[in-house]
Amino acid sequence: MILWKNHREDTALGDIDFRRRSLLLMLTTLPAACVTPLPDPRTHVLPEPSTIPSVRSPQPGQEWVYTVRNVFNKQVVDVITETVVAVGNQVRIRRTSHKFGPLVDEIQSPWGLILQDPHWNPPQLFTAALPLWPETLKAGWSGEYRRRYQVVGVPDYDYDWILDMQALTWEEITVPAGKFQALKFTNHIRFQSNEFYYRLSSERTETLWMIPEIGRWAVRRSDGVYYIEGHGSRMREDDLEWELQSWK
């Protein structure tokens, strides 16, 4: 059992009630039309490399462009461009949305260890960095990490974050940016939401195909589930896929 250390004593009851009513209304108004989900990425399993590959070192100007899609209905949600803008004790990656313009930066400290993670909503700042990909690029490797995080820009509270990472297989994957050899791995995350006063038992799962030669992933799929206090139905976060369109 996880014991949460912080509590918001100043939360307005009216705001809580409004959120609950809004979420319950959403449950009753979801569309019932059939949709065709996004197919799995084009892959096939490869033998384990005889030599463990190294991840490309970061350099200013390196760039990755991803199309973001809703897995359930295939709709394009956005196009995100990620660019390395600073390298040193911290590696800073500037992120730009085609729809919304500048986004919160990603910060690794050092390379391969995420400190500020804007992938999730809201963006997170960890009190201690944790691996962004498997520490050993070998099928069968696994690791568990326990951290605390803050919401970026809100330093007054921090929350629990538990990550279980598992490297699965080496695969050849084909995406618009090309054909690559990638390590497929999964993340299972249990965490305390910053909206803990009504959102319970929050979990997220991810599947990623990490390409060492480009220092990033070809595909990243993320989803999440949670419960609302006082309501038995399980709620879902958006099920999204980031697919690599180009890199340099």
Query: Chain centroid to CA 15: how far?
Result: 28
Interior angle at CA 123, CA 67 and CA 13, nearest 5: 125
CA dist 93 to 44, 135, 150, 190, Å? 31, 20, 19, 26
- pLDDT of 110-162, one tens digit each? 999 999 999 998 999 999 999 999 999 999 999 999 999 999 999 989 999 99
User: If one looks up domain 36-247 in CATH, what number appears?
Assistant: 2.40.360
Q: Average per-residue pLDDT in the chain?
A: 87
Q: What is the predicted pLDDT for the residue at 2?
A: 38
Confidence of residue 231 (pLDDT cuts 50, 70, 90): confident
Question: Which residue ranges make up each domain of the chain?
Answer: 36-247
Cβ atoms of 204 and 35 within 8 Å: the answer is no
- pLDDT of 181-204, one tens digit each? 999 999 999 999 888 667 888 999
Q: What is the predicted pLDDT for the residue at 229?
A: 77
In the predicted structure, residue 243 carries a pLDDT above the cut 80: yes
Task: Please compute the mean of the pLDDT values over residues 195-219 and round it to a whole number.
Answer: 92
Q: Has this prediction a pTM greater than 0.95?
A: no
In the predicted structure, residue 22 carries a pLDDT above the cut 70: no
Q: Which residue has the higher pLDDT, 34 or 181?
A: 181
Cβ atoms of 247 and 67 within 8 Å: the answer is no
Q: Which residue has the higher pLDDT, 150 or 228?
A: 150
Cβ atoms of 183 and 212 within 8 Å: the answer is yes
In the predicted structure, residue 9 carries a pLDDT above the cut 50: no
- Per-residue DSSP letters for 204-232? EEEEEEEETTTTEEEEEEEEEEEEETTEE
